[in-house]
Every structure is written in C-alpha cells, then in structure tokens.
Structure 1
Amino acid sequence: MTRRLHLNAFLMNTGHHEASWRLPESDPYAHVDLAHYVRLARTAERGTFDSLFLADGPHLWGSVAQRPAGALEPLTLLTALATATEHIGLIGTASTSYNSPYNLARKFASLDIISGGRAGWNIVTTAGAEAARNFGLDAEPGHADRYARAAEFLDVALKLWDSWEDDAIVADKASGVWGDDRKIHPPRHRGTYFRVEGALNVPRSPQGYPLLVQAGSSEDGKAFAARYAEAVFTAQQTIEDARAFYADLKSRTAAAGRDPGHIKVLPGIVPVIGSTEAEARAAERLLEDHIVHRHGVANLERLLQLSPGTLELDAELPAELPPEDAVEGAKSRYTLVVGDAPSHPRTLPPRVWGGGRGGGGFSVHNNTGV
C-alpha cells in the first residue's frame, strides 16, 4: 500500500512562537490583516499542502501584553480565503459548547459550497471558566458532560447535513418544479441537549458535510475521535509517545467499527528554517532571546490550576499536582506538561512550558530537512 504524508498549515496570527511579533520584519497587526492570511494560504497551496487550519476560542485568552491578541472569526476568514485559493482544504475551529447545531451546520455547509467542497471542522468542547462566563455560566461544564454534548451536537449536525438528498434539486423549468419535497428529511431531533425540528435551510454541499477533525488527547477526546474523526491533531514530545498515541487511536477506531485507515493523525511541529543548520539555530536563539518569561510562568500557573505567584522561573514544578482526572479544563495539554505521574517532582523549568514555541513539538530544519 502506498502511504502519503499529509501536510496541514496551522496559521497562528503572526507566528506560533510568542516572540515572533517582536522581530524587525514582523507586522504586529498582521493577525487582523486579510492580506496576511491570503499570502500564507497561497504559499501553503503553492507548496501542495492538503489544508490550512485556524484555531479559535470564544474568549480573550491570557494577557494582551504577551503577544498579538484576539483573532478574526475563523469561518468568516475561511470564506474570504476560499475566494483567494483553489485547492487547499479550509479547516476552522468551532465549539460544540457555545454554539447551536442548526446555525453551525448552516455555516459549514455555506463554507463548503462557497469553497467548492473544501471545508473542514475542528470540533472542540472549549475548556475554561473564562469562556463559560461569556455565555452566562458561572463555571465550565464538566469534561465528560462537554463531550456528551459534543457527541449529540455532531449527531444533530450530521442529520441536518443529510436532510437534503443529493438529488433533491430538480430545477425543471418546463414543469415549474424546482425541488423534490420527498427528498427533504427534517431531523425532528429530541435529545438530552438539543431539540431540532426542521431541515437545514442550505442545500446539500459538495462534500455532504465538512471534513471532521478533532484535537483532544484525553480519554474522552480519543473516544470521540475514534467514533467520528477523519483527522486528529495532536502534540507529542517524543517518538515513543507519538507511536503509543497512534496505536491507541487506531485500535479505538477499529473497536468503534470504523476502518483505522480512514483516520489520519497529524502531529504538530514548529519548524525553524534556515539555509544551514547553523542559520536555523541562530534564528531559534533570536526568537528565544525575545521571550518575556513572566508571561510563560503565568500561563503555566493557569494550566496547572495554581495560584498566581506559585511558580518561579527555573524552579522545579511542585511535587504535588492534581491528577488528570481532577482537571476539567484542557486535559490533554495538562498531561503533556506534567506527564503520567503528577506526584513526582518535575525538573523541567517553567520557561520550557510557557507556550513560546507553540502548541506542537519543536523542530529545527536546514534546507535539506523538509
């Protein structure tokens, strides 16, 4: 069997590295500049990438002092990028915690039609009390409850996308019949979280429904991915961990009754490119020298559910940290930092986990490495 390497460009405003905006050649306003994203999208398409991806969250994350903050709404931006590109897939994040299935299904169907069948949905459940309070809640829903809602949300969305059969549009001018009512199937869904009656008010899109992507690596996240996902974003720090994640996900997919070959695993890397390794290393040092480390320490305290001022730069992490089961927020990111034995002291300094290098692994390549 011929295996193919799939490449996805994760576009993070001015760059994944938190200090990228401080470089002389960087534009600190690029994250709200459509022309910036058009250039990136066309570059990725010219490089034959399969897709590009925009992350999102329904709250203002962290401190605006750290890096360019806020973001254009991804489906709006992807619609604009659809008109500036021809082939590349367009994946956007949208939360099942703070959306309704009908509106979101309509938006993705519209993007799929406008792009000619290139839409993808990164399905997230949205951790964090900050987001919850933006939607009238005092605290975030529990982790298992968020995934139960996500499963029903996606089931409803699939019903809505399937509410039009492929040939429901007749367009018979002679008879005056535009569509066949027999081929419209309202969901009439009654569930735990949602009640949705009517058919989608957008015709069947080219793909039928968008590419389904998932990014959680918790137990609930992997179970959800095994049931629904066609691609999975992940961040692993060692080859051994990456192989274990891959094998576990493929096994779960088979157990869910799906072909494991139909789910693609896309591990994250943040490359620094140079014409030689020495040049790439110099660029890496330049970026690292521009990090303001107090921001990273604050981010780490937030992730580990510690009070502000608990951590000190270059000190060990506390010996006692809550286990993953006690974390209701971003479980997979938490485990990525503390490992599998949170009762053991951590020797990695907080600056390593401040987020400066982005969400994936960190690689340095020369001009022959890609």
Structure 2
Amino acid sequence: MSRRIHLALHPYGVGGPGQHGLWKDPSVAKNASIDINYYIQQAQAAEHALFDALFVVDSQFINSTYPAHYLNRLEPLTLLSAVATHTRHIGLVATASSTYNSPFNLARRFASLDLISGGRAGWNVVTSFDTGTSKNFGLDEHLDYATRYGRALEFVQVARGLWDSYEDDAFPADVERNLFLDPERLHALDHQGEHFKVAGPLNVSRSPQGQPVIFQAGVSAEGRDLAARVAEGIYAPGGTLEQAQEYYADIKKRTAAHGRDPDHIKVFIHGGPVVGSTDEEARRREREIFEEDNDFERNLALLGRSFGAYDFSVHDLDAPSPTSPTSPRRAAVPARRRSSSGPANRS
C-alpha cells in the first residue's frame, strides 16, 4: 500500500535558518520578503507541485542584530489574503500569536481568509518566545510559560467557538419570507474563562471547510502538549533522523493520551533541501550557502535570540557557558545543537 507524503513550503524571502546570509547571493532579490509577487510565485509553484500548504512565519520583535528575513517582512494574514486570489488549491497557513492578539479579532481575520480562499486557511498557533515582544504591547514582562500556554489553549477554544457562531445554513436569504438570516441558526458564545470573556457571536459566516485548520510548532513539553490537544498539523524541527522520530512518536503518544485519534494529526518535519543537477553541484552549493552564512558575531546574536535576546558576547566565549541565561526558548537550542568541545570556532 502506497503512503501519501504531506508537504508544505516555507518561503523565507531573503534567507532562513542555516542560510541567513543568502540575501548576499546575486540570484536572491533583496526585497523578496516584502514582494507579494515573490510569494505568489512561490505559492503557485508549490501548488503546481501538489504541495499541501504554504506556511508563513512571523515575529513581532526585532533588533539590529536579527537576520535579514526578520527585519522587513509582510504581515502573514494580509500576505496570504493576496496569495489566495492567485491560487486555487494550496492551503494557506499563517502564524499568529495567542499571547499578543485577542480571540475575537483574530478569529474574524482567519475566518475572513478562509472565505476569501474558499476554505484553505490555517492558523499556526504560537505563544511568542521573544521576550522583547511584550514591550511592543504595553507589558513590562513577557508572560511566563504556564500562563502563555494556558492562555493559548483557551484562546483556541474561544476561536473555535466563535467560528461556530453560524450554522452552515444560517443565511437562507429568502425574499418571499423576508428572511435573510435564520436567527435560530445564530449562536452567541458567552464564554467566561480564566483568561478571556468573549460574548460573541462572530460576524463572519462559516467557510466551505467549516473552520480554519489549526497548526502548532511547539518544541517544548508545553508546546507538544498544546499541539496534542488542539492541532491538526504540526511544524516540527528537523535535527537528526532520530530526533525527528522521537518527536513524531512523542506527539502521537500525547495525542492518544488526550483521547484523540493520533492519525488525525499530521507532522511536518522541517528540512532545507539544497538542489543541484548533480550531487556534486548540490554539495558545492551547500558549501557556498554555509560560507554566505558564516558570520560569527551575527550567529552569536542569533543564538541569544533563543534565550530572550541574551547577549552572549559579554562572556568569555572560551569558558563554560553561563549557567542560567534568562528566558530560554525551551528545547529549541538542544534540538539544533551539535556536540562539540574546546574553544569557540570563530572562523
């Protein structure tokens, strides 16, 4: 029996993880991250190749040390609304934070994308790990892990409730009966929980697929558990084959423990293929990409991003690492880490 492989394209524009220096390549458009035509072309190519989805990441905090593709890029829901009008089949997955949004507004925006696209919208639920984000939203401190993930779970529950405000046949638009809306098929939410009070109903009808598809990209234990509870698709870190297999098995186990069918959640393992007409050409291109990305100071700053924008440059880099950098992005660094010993390699 053949097995169907699910694929999603994750376009970065001017470079991504492991290729942050790619913007320097002559073949890369320097404005790709803000060029809607770039994304439309990427989406159309992926659709032609029968990919399942186009996946767009996001963040809401930067500083001058961040990689090029973070510094200047389009807001995902706006971007994908434009892409939707130039594609027909491919799923459109936007990243949006449950920590720095409100359920009603975000549910409405995703419901709108779902209608614009004919039922192809997906929401990648994140809780935001950049501690600096809080200061862009009137908060002095980033919310702690327990609060962020408790809020995320309730946020998704509220959004799903709002997406069910209307039944499928709520709008008969019957002129003879002077009945545009059947009020019996409109339902207020009246949610009151630990983090949110939302009355509803939502003023957007259901799409052809009913509700947007929920994705999650958690690496930590809390993130994995949230995914097992609510997600229909997961974007997972790559790392080694063994790490990917461990992640997959753990997600399936957690999903079953929450009373869900493990087969109803799809896991997309991250990978960055380097393409060439021959193996030798691909290997050469891989070396070129590595050299373009070989900026020690910038990569050191990027490492700090996983620890709440921690500045590792203040330490002796040939000494043991500090015991407790603030606000680590749990498990993200170990998942990518390669064992090493000796002084830092600055070449």
Q: CA deviation at 1:287?
A: 1.6
Q: CA deviation at 1:346?
A: 5.2
Q: Work out which of the residue numbers 303, 306, 312 in structure 2 matches 1:303.
A: 306
**Which whole-Å CA distance do the structure 1 matches of 2:235 and 2:344 have between them?**
26
2:257 corresponding residue in structure 1:
255
Residue identity in the other structure for 2:300: V
Q: CA deviation at 1:11?
A: 1.1
Contact 1:14/1:26 (8 A) holds in 2: yes
Q: Please identify runs of 4+ aligned residues in structure 1 that moved more than 6 A.
A: none
Q: CA deviation at 1:337?
A: 4.1
1:197-249, CA deviations, whole angstroms, 9 ceiling, x for partnerless residues? 12001111222211110001211111111110011111131111111111111
TM, length-normalised to structure 2: 0.92
Q: CA deviation at 1:77?
A: 0.5
Q: Secondary structure at the match of 1:269?
A: coil
Structure 2 CA distance for partners of 1:26 and 1:185, relative to 1, 3 Å:
same
Residue identity in the other structure for 1:143: Y
1:243-268, CA deviations, whole angstroms, 9 ceiling, x for partnerless residues? 11111110110111110000011110
Residue identity in the other structure for 1:247: A
Q: Secondary structure at the match of 2:304?
A: helix
Structure 1: segments with no counterpart, 5+ residues: 353-370
Structure 2: segments with no counterpart, 5+ residues: none
2:20 corresponding residue in structure 1:
18
Q: Which has the higher strand share?
A: 1
Q: CA deviation at 1:176?
A: 1.1
1:293 corresponding residue in structure 2:
296
Q: Secondary structure at the match of 1:170?
A: coil
Q: CA deviation at 1:171?
A: 1.4
2:134 corresponding residue in structure 1:
132
Q: CA deviation at 1:62?
A: 5.2
Q: Secondary structure at the match of 1:287?
A: helix
Contact 1:297/1:351 (8 A) holds in 2: no
2:73 corresponding residue in structure 1:
71
1:132-160, CA deviations, whole angstroms, 9 ceiling, x for partnerless residues? 00011111100111000001111110110
Structure 2 CA distance for partners of 1:182 and 1:67, relative to 1, 3 Å:
closer
Contact 2:59/2:70 (8 A) holds in 1: no
Q: Which moved more, 1:181-190 or 1:232-241?
A: 232-241
2:198 corresponding residue in structure 1:
196
1:219 corresponding residue in structure 2:
221
Q: Secondary structure at the match of 1:175?
A: coil
Q: Which moved more, 1:298-307 or 1:19-28?
A: 298-307
Q: Work out which of the residue numbers 9, 29, 32 in structure 2 matches 1:30.
A: 32
Q: How does 1:171-182 map to 2 (within 5 A)?
A: 171-182=173-184
1:164 corresponding residue in structure 2:
166
Residue identity in the other structure for 2:163: W
**Which whole-Å CA distance do the structure 1 matches of 2:25 and 2:118 have between them?**
37
**Which whole-Å CA distance do the structure 1 matches of 2:65 and 2:15 have between them?**
17
1:209 corresponding residue in structure 2:
211
Structure 2 CA distance for partners of 1:327 and 1:210, relative to 1, 3 Å:
farther
Q: CA deviation at 1:15?
A: 3.1
**Is residue 334 of structure 1 aligned with residue 333 of structure 2?**
yes
**Which whole-Å CA distance do the structure 2 matches of 1:290 and 1:351 have between them?**
14
Contact 2:8/2:51 (8 A) holds in 1: yes
Residue identity in the other structure for 1:15: G
Structure 2 CA distance for partners of 1:4 and 1:351, relative to 1, 3 Å:
farther
Structure 2 CA distance for partners of 1:311 and 1:208, relative to 1, 3 Å:
farther
**Which whole-Å CA distance do the structure 1 matches of 2:3 and 2:121 have between them?**
23
2:125 corresponding residue in structure 1:
123
Matched pairs, number: 343
**Is residue 41 of structure 1 aligned with residue 40 of structure 2?**
no
Q: Secondary structure at the match of 2:160?
A: helix
Q: Work out which of the residue numbers 134, 153, 156 in structure 2 matches 1:154.
A: 156
Structure 2 CA distance for partners of 1:328 and 1:309, relative to 1, 3 Å:
closer
Residue identity in the other structure for 1:173: V
Q: Secondary structure at the match of 1:93?
A: strand
- The share of aligned pairs that are identical, in percent, is 42
1:85-118, CA deviations, whole angstroms, 9 ceiling, x for partnerless residues? 1110000000000100000000011100010010
Residue identity in the other structure for 1:25: S
**Which whole-Å CA distance do the structure 1 matches of 2:238 and 2:62 have between them?**
26
**Which whole-Å CA distance do the structure 1 matches of 2:67 and 2:271 have between them?**
25
1:243 corresponding residue in structure 2:
245
Contact 1:13/1:68 (8 A) holds in 2: no
1:367 corresponding residue in structure 2:
none
Q: How does 1:85-96 map to 2 (within 5 A)?
A: 85-96=87-98
Q: Secondary structure at the match of 2:41?
A: helix
Q: Work out which of the residue numbers 229, 232, 237 in structure 1 matches 2:231.
A: 229
Structure 2 CA distance for partners of 1:62 and 1:234, relative to 1, 3 Å:
farther
